[in-house]
Structure 1
Amino acid sequence: MLLPSGRADLLSEASTNIKSNSYLLIFLCVLLYFTSYITRINFNACIAEIINSSVITKTEAGTIGTAMFFFYGTGQLISGFLCDKIRPSKIILIGLFLTMACNSLLPLCTDVVSMSIIWGINGFAQAMFWPPIVKIMSMALSEEYYSKGCLFVSIAAHAATVFVYLAVPACINMLNWKIIFFISAVIAFITAIVWGTSFSKIGKTLSVKHVPTATKYENKPKVSITPILIISGAILLLFAIIVQGFLKDGYTTWMPVYLTEVFSINSSSTIMLNLFLPAVSIACTTLASFLYKKVFAQNEVRASFMYFFIALVLSIVLVFICNISAIGTLIIVSLITGCMHSVNLMLVSLLPARFSFCGKVGAMSGITNACTYIGSSISSFGLAYIAENSGWQSVIIILTGLALMGIIFCLFSYKKWKLFIYKK
């Protein structure tokens, strides 16, 4: 049936507005997550230089990292449940101003206790970003744009990593490690202004009522999330997510220190070498997004199983060369972290949207990201302790065993998850 020309023009204009505002929303989420990563991983990027400056010891650095990861993980649960009940955009603004304050204060701290407190608070502030981002995108974007948004937001994290690992050596050479935190605070302030002024303009255009994929579920009765986790097999996937968080952030956090101690490379050079990690991760994440649709039939667990398997094979090789070749070690570690970022895309970015039918997107995004940083917090202190007492090769062996555990968790949850996503 043909529509009157006037009505057709209105529909075409509305469609164009929704498309442009969808991309604008994705851009804002990308900017937000870019800023989130900068204000969170800057400590990891500086960790070798801070230790070399005798401000803190290796174990104390692990304690500070653990504090951040602990409060980030627990904060994810709170943030996830809150953004299912109140406006996610407000939670995001609070988080931006809080992380700005923490990044401004950390360089002024002179002992491990004060640094742990400030960075722990920053971890809680960082938890106010991911669940609201997933909630906003899942409710305001169509399925096509949501998938694109998840990919671009994931790439933003890697781009932020590149930025930080380029900026830190420059700051160390020109001044000292402290300046990077002040720069991060300024970036957080600018992002807060951009988010606050821009989101309000597109919020009405991209309200839930304009999006078919969102309205499909908005009137569904809300149910308890626990039985759904059990029925879907996602309860086991939470353990797989903990494993990927341990592997991903374990390698990323301690690679500069490892290269410094084992191969006697100075701290600013190791930071520059670490640029290879996010560069490979961007390629891996982009490829994983393509394979998710073309090879793995949009099955998150099937894809994750394969990435854990590749990580296991690479880890076994790493056990034998970790004390021989710095370049070989860097290449293999980059590929392993790329695989873990691919798992993160599957189980932390894409998986929560599967629970939109019961109104639990925010809660699931909080739970899955919390599990990531349970693994991260354990790795931050645990790997430092193992490295100091048993050496770096013992660290590599333990990480290899964890890759095997990731395979097992995916294997045992696969059947339930397959039934869940195709019969839901």
Structure 2
Amino acid sequence: MEQSNVLAVQKRRVLAVCVAAYTVSYLLRTNLSLALDDLMEVLAIGRGPAGLVSTLYFWTYASGQLLGGWLSVKWDPKRVVALGLAASGMCNLAIGFCSSYWALAALWTLNGLALALFWPPILQITTNWFEPGEYLKVSILLSLPTTLGYLLAWGGLGAVLRAAGWRWVFFCPALVAFCFFWVWLRGLKASPAAADLCYRPAVLAAPEKKEPAAEAPRRGSLARAMLTLPMLSFAFVIVTQGSTKESINLWAPTLLRQLAGPGQEGLVSLFTAVIPLFSTAGLLATGWLVRRLHGGQEGALLALTGAGAVCGWLLVALQGSLTGLVICLGLLLGLVYGVTTILTTLLPLRFARTGQSAAFTGIFNFLAYVGAALGGVLSGWVSDGWGWQRVYLLWAALATVSALALFVSEAWQYFSWRYLGH
């Protein structure tokens, strides 16, 4: 078989295994939201302490993104993912046996650190294999597990919850993780060199010898790039969007059960399964929009955050209707997923030439989950104190300030270019 055919087969295999790995990682983290209602009853805790468990998870997950980015550069990224997979499986298995609030909090916190070792190395592996022209397709496919994971968890694990109880909601993902561990080790090559192929993506190709003078600008490029106005506005937006995304993902099953009332488990399960479909549609629409704008990520971000602000206020207006609530939640979540996909996947790939794509995705994922850490506990405390209506207002406000931040940044850049000459 010619090398070009072998390369095409290897690329498809790498992408399939990476998508599967990221989907498994979402099974290992989305299960908490399904079991949260039962856990609050068993452990006799309110929504505030339950939200604190999620917050502790996201703090370690956010910090671990930086660790994952660093390890992906210094170590074999394939081994980094394997380490995270095994550790997260052990944490989920242990949670299935626990009966203490603090044991749950400690284990879920460790689970956050383990799962942080997935995304940066996976992105590093894809930059080892794919050309810049393939980045959009790859990034959209790699982002699908962020919604498919919830669909599998809220659909499949929801049935497990009803049939076997909350402990099996943690046992089942742990078993899946242990089985997939061997698939990951045997089914993936981290780079073309590991597969004995003489191939290197064009963006990574470089002369055999580099001039010392050319190295100096690259060493400071990470800090300089992050301290520009566009990147600072992106950083603010990823924090607010991360807060909205993960607080909806955490509380949606509990919220819908409480609003639907007793005897409506079938309807709640249907609505819970529908919400991730909106998220998947949002990801696909984001890919279409970026292509339509010829790769214009800034324009796509403005459109998505603006639409998200509109959906946020529609959520506030239609909260009296369960169907309207589900549709608005789904639309808002889909738009938020589109924004976070651009900021955590497409944007970092701009820096593949300098070998810093994993570092940038680590930074933006860190910021996203700083927002998530704040959003989970804040939504829990607000709903405990003032009800879900105030939580809807919080989500609408976060969507609005995200859109305004991007608009101000883009307007200032245009003003600087048009009138200040830079």
Same fold by TM (over 0.5)? yes
Structure 1 residue 293 corresponds to structure 2 residue 283 = no
CA distance in 1, matches of 2:198, 2:89: 31
Q: TM-score, normalised by structure 1?
A: 0.90
CA distance in 2, matches of 1:177, 1:184: 12
Give the counterpart letter for 2:392 in structure 1. I
1:300-356: per-residue Cα shift (whole Å, max 9, x none)?
Answer: 22211211111111111221221x110110001000000001111111111111112
Alignment of structure 1 residues 301-340 onto 2, 5 Å = 301-322=298-319, 324-340=320-336
SS of residue matched to 1:100: helix
Q: Quick check: 1:62–1:380 contact (8 Å CA) kept in 2?
A: yes
CA 1:394–1:82: 2 relative to 1, 3 Å: same
Shift of 1:206: 7.9
Partner of 1:161: 150
Partner of 2:420: none
Shift of 1:169: 2.6
SS of residue matched to 1:298: coil
Structure 1 residue 102 corresponds to structure 2 residue 91 = yes
CA distance in 1, matches of 2:200, 2:327: 46
Q: Quick check: 1:35–1:188 contact (8 Å CA) kept in 2?
A: yes
Give the counterpart letter for 1:43 in structure 2. L
Shift of 1:216: 4.9
Shift of 1:200: 3.8
Shift of 1:53: 4.0
CA 1:340–1:206: 2 relative to 1, 3 Å: farther
Give the counterpart letter for 1:69 in structure 2. F
Q: Quick check: 1:106–1:181 contact (8 Å CA) kept in 2?
A: yes
Give the counterpart letter for 1:176 in structure 2. G
Shift of 1:54: 4.7
CA 1:335–1:182: 2 relative to 1, 3 Å: same
Q: Quick check: 1:305–1:410 contact (8 Å CA) kept in 2?
A: yes
Shift of 1:213: 2.4
CA 1:201–1:359: 2 relative to 1, 3 Å: closer
Q: Quick check: 1:217–1:359 contact (8 Å CA) kept in 2?
A: no
Q: Quick check: 2:203–2:353 contact (8 Å CA) kept in 1?
A: no
CA distance in 2, matches of 1:287, 1:227: 32
Partner of 1:118: 107
In structure 1, stretches of 5+ residues that fail to align are: 1-9, 420-424
1:368-396: per-residue Cα shift (whole Å, max 9, x none)?
Answer: 11111111111110000011111211111
Which piece of structure 1 moves more, 283-292 or 217-226?
A: 217-226
CA distance in 2, matches of 1:243, 1:408: 12
RMSD (Å) for aligned C-alpha atoms: 2.3
CA 1:129–1:101: 2 relative to 1, 3 Å: same
Which piece of structure 1 moves more, 247-256 or 213-222?
A: 213-222
Give the counterpart letter for 2:352 in structure 1. S
Partner of 1:348: 344
Partner of 1:368: 364
Alignment of structure 1 residues 173-184 onto 2, 5 Å = 173-184=162-173
Partner of 2:205: 215
Q: Quick check: 2:311–2:328 contact (8 Å CA) kept in 1?
A: yes
Structure 1 residue 197 corresponds to structure 2 residue 195 = no
Give the counterpart letter for 2:285 in structure 1. L
Give the counterpart letter for 2:131 in structure 1. S
Shift of 1:201: 8.5
CA 1:298–1:397: 2 relative to 1, 3 Å: same
Partner of 2:22: 33
Q: Quick check: 2:125–2:191 contact (8 Å CA) kept in 1?
A: no
SS of residue matched to 1:210: coil
Which piece of structure 1 moves more, 47-56 or 166-175?
A: 47-56
CA 1:271–1:54: 2 relative to 1, 3 Å: farther
Give the counterpart letter for 1:358 in structure 2. T
CA distance in 2, matches of 1:344, 1:89: 24
Q: Quick check: 2:14–2:189 contact (8 Å CA) kept in 1?
A: no
CA distance in 2, matches of 1:267, 1:386: 25
Out of 238, 251, 254, which is 2:251 matched to? 254
1:59-103: per-residue Cα shift (whole Å, max 9, x none)?
Answer: 221111111111000110111122122211111111011001001
Out of 385, 389, 402, which is 1:406 matched to? 402
Give the counterpart letter for 1:211 in structure 2. P
Out of 231, 238, 244, which is 1:241 matched to? 238
CA distance in 2, matches of 1:284, 1:377: 23
CA distance in 2, matches of 1:46, 1:366: 29
Q: Quick check: 1:253–1:380 contact (8 Å CA) kept in 2?
A: yes
> What number of residue pairs does the alignment pair up?
406
Shift of 1:117: 0.7
Partner of 1:3: none
Give percent identity, aligned residues only: 23
Structure 1 residue 48 corresponds to structure 2 residue 44 = no
Alignment of structure 1 residues 374-389 onto 2, 5 Å = 374-389=370-385
CA distance in 2, matches of 1:119, 1:180: 14
Give the counterpart letter for 2:56 in structure 1. A
Q: TM-score, normalised by structure 2?
A: 0.90
Alignment of structure 1 residues 64-103 onto 2, 5 Å = 64-103=53-92
CA distance in 2, matches of 1:376, 1:417: 29
CA 1:339–1:329: 2 relative to 1, 3 Å: same
Shift of 1:413: 3.4
Q: Quick check: 2:244–2:398 contact (8 Å CA) kept in 1?
A: yes
Shift of 1:266: 5.8
CA distance in 1, matches of 2:134, 2:196: 12
